[in-house]
A = this chain, B = another copy of it.
Amino acid sequence: MASSFGTAVRVSVFGQSHSPAIGCVVDGLPAGFVPDLDDLRSFMARRAPGRTGWTTPRREADEPRIVAGLNQRGETCGAPLAIIIENTDTRSRDYDDVLRIPRPGHADFTAQAKWHGHQDVPGGGHFSGRLTAPLCAAGGIARQMLAARGVRIAAHLLRVGSAADEPFCALAHDADSRRRLVGQLDALGDGRTFPVISMSAGDAMLAQIDDARSARDSIGGAVECVACGLPAGMGGPLFDGIESAIARIAFGVGAVKSLEFGAGADVAGRRGSQNNDPFDVVDGSYAPVKNDAGGNLGGITSGAPLLFRVAIKPTPSIAQPQRSVDIASGATTTLATHGRHDPCIAPRAVPVMEAVAALALLDSWLAFPPQAT
């Protein structure tokens, strides 16, 4: 099923940028959980457009309406949860030329190759970043369920252009590092609007975004995500390991072009003696003493923080003229995109990566838990 994923918790996402509504169906959630709708709205607001200078002026209330899956007390009831978000602020005229002239960096070209004009074109249709709104609706609830199990998931903007935030203190796993990581998570949760740990790094990033916008251009970024408090023994061998589960969903987000766990790409240059995480007895239980493995070995959690990073490509839509082709006439042409677009999509990808992690981890926990003893 092209627009769904999951084993025990199945998520199906639907909608197009300018369809009447977008939404999702989430099947397999345990019954008896009361979603906190205020928390869900806050979570989704972190992804929503139109809030600040660094996002598109398109305004969407993005109010998630839960139309099925709760009982009369507001608890999950064992039936699939269905969430609808009405599309309101759609201005299709911005996209009139898109069917004829594919926008560089967008899926216009490949959707045409696949569906020969039947695809829904305005706003990118089913490929629109707007589809991450229902992903966040589902993921926001999964994140609450994991929080109730003692799991804390947080992401931050690791990089925009050449400006970098301090990384999560999650590759080390000693007591001091764990304390510092908690401090980072607390800082990110203190109500700040720009999702960085270091305020000065944030300022540098905002400056780069502003420069890109001024140049009628866009800029890329990177997001780092961590999940703390997972039990050891979650996940499965081979293709349903934790890394595979996260990878499949993360690369379903169009802007993601790379994914690394733990030490990530750095392992290519390392010796085993440096890369291996030794084990020790910590507070009476066994644990790795550092965490270059990123919280899992062989796809199964180790109890250390699950840690991954993604690179987010610069928004393809830019106001600068770009070279493309006119499919109707066969002529080379020049295209300048006039829609409303973020100069940098990476800040809004931060809660999306938390949603990706939450959905992958809740599913893995329920589908492939540590076996009962």
Contact = CB atoms under 8 A, between A and B. Distances in A.
Interface in A196-255: 212, 215, 217-222, 231-241, 243-244, 247-252, 254
A167 interface: no
A151 interface: no
A8 B8 CA distance: 9
A246 to B, nearest CB: 8
A279 B109 contact: yes
A168 interface: no
Interface residues of A, number: 158
A319 B187 CA distance: 43
A314 B104 contact: no
A126 B237 contact: yes
A92 B131 CA distance: 35
A136 interface: no
Interface stretch (A39-47, A141-149, A172-180, A325-333): A325-333
Q: Number of copies of this chain in the oligomer? A: 4
Interface in A98-126: 102, 104-107, 109-111, 113-116, 118-122, 125-126
A126 B260 contact: no
A230 to B, nearest CB: 11
Given A20-B67, A114-B371, A261 B257 contact: yes
Given A78-B119, A276-B322, A320-B273, A257 B247 contact: no
A111 B233 CA distance: 7
A247 B258 CA distance: 10
A232 B298 contact: no
A39 to B, nearest CB: 20
A66 B84 CA distance: 12
A251 B247 contact: yes
A265 interface: yes
Given A20-B65, A247-B259, A252-B238, A3 B280 contact: no
Given A116-B373, A268-B159, A1 B240 contact: yes
Nearest to A108: B297
A301 interface: yes
A186 interface: no
Task: Find the residue from A75, A106, A311 having the highest chain B CB count within 10 A.
Answer: A311
A10 B77 CA distance: 23
Interface string A258-272: 111111111111111
A215 B271 contact: yes
12 contacts: A2-B239, A3-B238, A4-B27, A12-B12, A14-B81, A14-B82, A71-B120, A77-B126, A160-B268, A220-B271, A244-B251, A281-B331
